[in-house]
Amino acid sequence: MQMATFFGEVLSVYSRAVEEDEEDDHENEEDQQIRSEIEEKRKVHVEWCSEVKNELATSAEKGLHCSDLVVAVGPNAAGFLSAYVLSSEIWSPVGSVSIWNERNPGSGAMLQSESSCVFYRQKDSPSVLICQCTCYIAEDQLFQWAESVFSCIEKRGLNVTVLSDCSLAEFKTTESMSSTSPFLRALKTGLYRSQISCPLLEQPNIVTGLAAAVVSHCQVHQIPAVLYQSYSDVITPDSVTMETYKPAFLNLSRLIKLDANPNADVLKKLIRISDPQSNMYT
């Protein structure tokens, strides 16, 4: 939809109008076949290393026994875990989610470096599972992601913590936000009883994407879960935004040790990605 403004330029505007629903009534066989093949290709697959596979095969409930699952969505959340958690102890990758979609055509094989949705575990205390997710997951794959991942994890005794990045521009408030960003807001499911270390997400703000899919799954299936969303006005990963996630780990401090200082090498690598590549002055 396009709209001309008072000054004459044409803007495309977001419309809430809804198309009349007349989809795939007259689809021929070939179209249907192509569509079903694409659907098959877009399926979300969770793959585990042989050790975890054995555990899954031997467990009675066909699920991993975890006390905590930490899901980090977005470059800052994932970067925070890389710099403060995963660098410090003996965390090793134990699985990944392979996702194929329009922005993610390459992701496939298990535990490869380009796979950007990876699970980590500590060798000596495997009760905490960490998932770093920086790849794009399409709208139709979000629900599936939650279903597939949670089908591998035993629901009893599980607590879920989600860290998620969000742009400050998405935050709706009547107050001025200029000096406060980045900041943290929380959302919790009905069964989550622990203390929350930041304000709750105010109405009318909502969360979407993988974070929403995970907390919705937890709410519906009665798993205690909390989501910490960091609102930042920097588009690229940065150390200040990463630091905002620190309070989220207060409840997990018994199980996960945070480094006092971030691992500088990891941080450098993460932040260098966003350095301007072609700038007239560099």
Binding site for other proteins (CB under 8 A): 15-24, 139-140, 142-144, 146-147, 187-190, 200-209, 211-213, 215-217, 219-221, 227
Q: Which amino acid is it at 232?
A: S
- Contact (CB, 8 A) for 70 and 207: no
First to last CA, the chain: 40
Smallest distance from other proteins to CB 216, Å:
4
Where on the phi/psi map is residue 209: left (φ > 0), alpha (ψ -120 to 50), or beta?
Answer: left
Select 130 or 201, whichever has its Cβ closest to other proteins.
201
Strand, helix or coil for residue 185: strand
In angstroms, rounded to a whole number, what is the distance separating the alpha carbons of residues 223 and 87? Answer: 29
Where on the phi/psi map is residue 111: left (φ > 0), alpha (ψ -120 to 50), or beta?
Answer: left
Smallest distance from other proteins to CB 239, Å:
28
Q: Would you state the torsion angle of the CA atoms of residues 86, 121, 134, 139, taken in this order, to the nearest 10 degrees?
A: -160
Q: Would you state the torsion angle of the CA atoms of residues 219, 227, 44, 59, taken in this order, to the nearest 10 degrees?
A: -70
